[in-house]
Amino acid sequence: MEYVKIKNSEEQLPIGKIIGVGRNYAAHAKELGNEVPDEFPLIFMKNVSGLLHSGGEIIHPAYSTELHHEVELVLVIGKDIKDADDESAENAIYGYGVGFDMTLRDLQFSLKKKGEPWTLAKCFDGAAVISDFITKSEYKLKGNEAISLKVNGETRQNSTLDKMLFDSISIIKFLSSKMKLEKGDLIFTGTPEGVGKVVKGDLLEGEIENIASLKATIG
């Protein structure tokens, strides 16, 4: 079983499911030639068995030549919730972290062209990398924090959370209207523009202002 690690605490929260939000930054949707959603976020799943913690090594799958980085705000749910309103959605958030939603872009494009699900492009060993989490009681998200990612010291992604099309509350309300969210679930909330290819030996460093940072290498 995988656990969320909480900053300044011995508590470890068992991880349930991992939900991803796609195309949640307009500039990122446009850089990949995708339509910008205007009513509902695009949702996909990632595998818990593919989870890595900060400092881990992402093994580059041999069946892909386009492994891409995506840095994201990650929410951890602290209580079971269904059909949330604004208040209950806010109360369901236990804490915040930083994540890498690693994506096999060549496979994703091939699957999309065939009209098939993205699953194999999003679910592989090392597909989800997470930092330690800070609880909402220790830090209240303002919503305009800087989010960034560097590869080998070079900034690739640099934006702010207020560029998200759907904020944390909107995402939780939408998801909980479709499925029960449970304590320990992780929600990757989407990535800003600047995604790109990484290769063996690269060092990835991600950060969200006042929340957390994380590192991973490509092996």
Per-domain residue ranges for the chain? 3-218
**What is the CATH number assigned to the segment(s) 3-218?**
3.90.850.10
90-103: per-residue pLDDT in tens? 999 999 999 999 99
The share of the chain scoring above pLDDT 70, in percent, equals: 95
* CB contact at 8 A, 18 and 45: yes
**How far is it, in rounded angstroms, from Cα 66 to Cα 102?**
10
Percent of residues in the chain assigned helix, strand, coil, to nearest 5: 20, 40, 40
194-208: per-residue pLDDT in tens? 999 999 999 999 999
pLDDT for residue 29: 54
At 41, the pLDDT band (50, 70, 90 cuts) reads confident
**How far is it, in rounded angstroms, from Cα 117 to Cα 44?**
9
56-88: per-residue pLDDT in tens? 999 999 999 999 999 999 999 999 999 999 999
- The pTM score is 0.95
11-36: per-residue pLDDT in tens? 889 999 999 998 888 766 566 566 66
149-179: per-residue pLDDT in tens? 999 999 999 999 999 999 999 999 999 999 9
Nearest Cα to 60, choosing from 105, 22, 119? 105
